[in-house]
Amino acid sequence: MSFPLLTATAVLPALGAIATAAVPAARRTAAKWLALIVSLATLVLAAVVLVRFDPDGDRYQLTESHAWIKDFGVRYELGVDGIAVAMIALTALLIPFVILAGWHDADPLETGSKRWRPTQGFFALILLVEAMVIISFEATDVFVFYIFFEAMLIPMYFLIGGFGDRAHEHGEAAAATQRSYAAVKFLLYNLVGGLIMLAAVIGLYVVAGNFSLTQIAEARANGTLDMATSTERWLFLGFFFAFAVKAPLWPLHTWLPNAMQESTAPVAVLITAVVDKVGTFAMLRFCLQLFPEASTWATPAILVLALISIIYGALLAVGQRDIKRLVAYASISHFGFIILGIFAMTSQGQSGATLYMVNHGISTAALMLVAGFLISRRGSRLIADYGGVQKVAPVLAGTFLIGGLATLSLPGLAPFVSEFLVLVGTFARYPVIGIIATVGIVLAALYTLVLYQRTMTGPVKAEVEGMPDLRVRELVVVAPLIALLIFLGVYPKPVTDIVNPAVKQTLSDVQKKDPQPEVEASK
- Output the tens digit of pLDDT for each of the chain's 523 residues: 478 999 999 999 999 999 998 888 778 888 899 999 999 999 999 999 999 998 888 888 998 888 888 777 788 899 999 999 999 999 999 999 999 998 887 776 654 434 455 788 889 999 999 999 999 999 999 999 999 999 999 999 989 888 876 655 555 666 677 788 888 898 999 999 999 999 999 998 888 888 888 888 888 777 777 788 888 899 999 999 999 999 889 898 888 998 888 888 899 999 999 998 999 999 998 999 888 889 999 999 999 999 999 999 999 999 888 889 999 999 999 999 999 999 998 888 999 999 999 999 999 999 999 998 888 888 888 888 888 888 888 999 899 999 999 988 889 999 999 999 999 999 988 999 999 999 988 999 999 999 999 988 888 887 878 888 889 999 999 999 999 999 999 999 999 999 999 888 888 877 777 777 666 655 5
Cα–Cα distance, 429 to 345 (Å, whole number) = 8
- At residue 48, the pLDDT reads 94
Is 73 buried (19+), middle (13-18) or exposed (0-12) by CB count in 10 A? middle
- At residue 113, the pLDDT reads 37
For residue 259, tell me if it sits in a domain: yes
Q: Which residues contact 355 (CB under 8 A, 6 or more apart)?
A: 417, 418, 421, 492, 495, 496, 499
Cα–Cα distances (Å) from 164 to 260, 299, 522, in that order, read 9, 38, 59
For residue 480, tell me if it sits in a domain: yes
CA of residue 267 relative to chain centroid, distance: 12
- At residue 390, the pLDDT reads 86
Cα–Cα distance, 80 to 48 (Å, whole number) = 13
- At residue 409, the pLDDT reads 87
CA angle at residue 151 from 148 to 154, to 5 degrees? 155
For residue 449, tell me if it sits in a domain: yes
- At residue 281, the pLDDT reads 93
Range of the domain at 273: 5-509
Cα–Cα distance, 428 to 389 (Å, whole number) = 44
Residue 453, number of CB atoms within 10 A of its CB: 12
For residue 519, tell me if it sits in a domain: no
Torsion angles phi and psi, residue 322, rounded to 5: -100, 130
- At residue 379, the pLDDT reads 80
As for how many domains the chain has, the answer is 1
CA angle at residue 468 from 462 to 474, to 5 degrees? 140
Q: Which helix (H) or strand (E) holds 64?
A: strand 61-69
- At residue 115, the pLDDT reads 44
Residue 21: closest CA among 154, 162, 122: 122
For residue 522, tell me if it sits in a domain: no
**Residue 75: strand, helix, or coil:** strand
For residue 20, tell me if it sits in a domain: yes
pTM: 0.90
For residue 30, tell me if it sits in a domain: yes
